[in-house]
Structure 1
Amino acid sequence: MGGGPVGGELAQVFARFGVATTLAEAGPQLAGREQGQVAERLARVLTDDGSISGRTRASTWSASSWPPDGSHQHIWAAGDVTGIAPRFRKPDAQSHRRRLGRRA
């Protein structure tokens, strides 16, 4: 995730669910819009427990695919860290209605 405020908040959410998370920031510090000491403190708070790591000066790339079945997959890389987002399936409301005995 990006190393800004939204990325930091989402990283904390994922960390609390037990997911190891990496913040990737193209600039020289996480929370790049903040002043130096504030940014350093935020980075320390986010990364102290080890469930969130930070990468600065990270060049990133990503790719997405949309197969014919309507699902979506996203792959990204930031420096030496690579991630694959879960494959999202297209909702199938008709099959749920059939299981409930209702017409689509």
Structure 2
Amino acid sequence: MTLWWWLLLSCVLAYAWKLVGYLVPASLLRNPRTSRVAGTMTIGLLASLTVVNAVASGQSLALDARLGALAAAAVALLFRAPFLVVVLAGAGAAAGLRLLGWG
């Protein structure tokens, strides 16, 4: 199969998975345990995606300016900065580190 067929298949499967979500009974969704598990899974998946994008380059680890940008954004989050400030802190840290020749 070509890449386009795989892409089309993944789109169809993702849409079908979304449609299956409408079949979940409402009583299950009102359960506090289900809400807690769903929230925890979302946070875990987002955190893992962030870390992989920050330290991976293909099949290997890359410790470059992205790691510094992630650290700067984490510090901004610790100080409860608004989202735009967090993004700008990360971007500024990455730009500064790259200007200094790191990554």
The two structures have a TM-score, normalised by structure 2, of 0.21
The two structures have a TM-score, normalised by structure 1, of 0.21
The structure richer in strand per residue is 1
The structure richer in helix per residue is 2
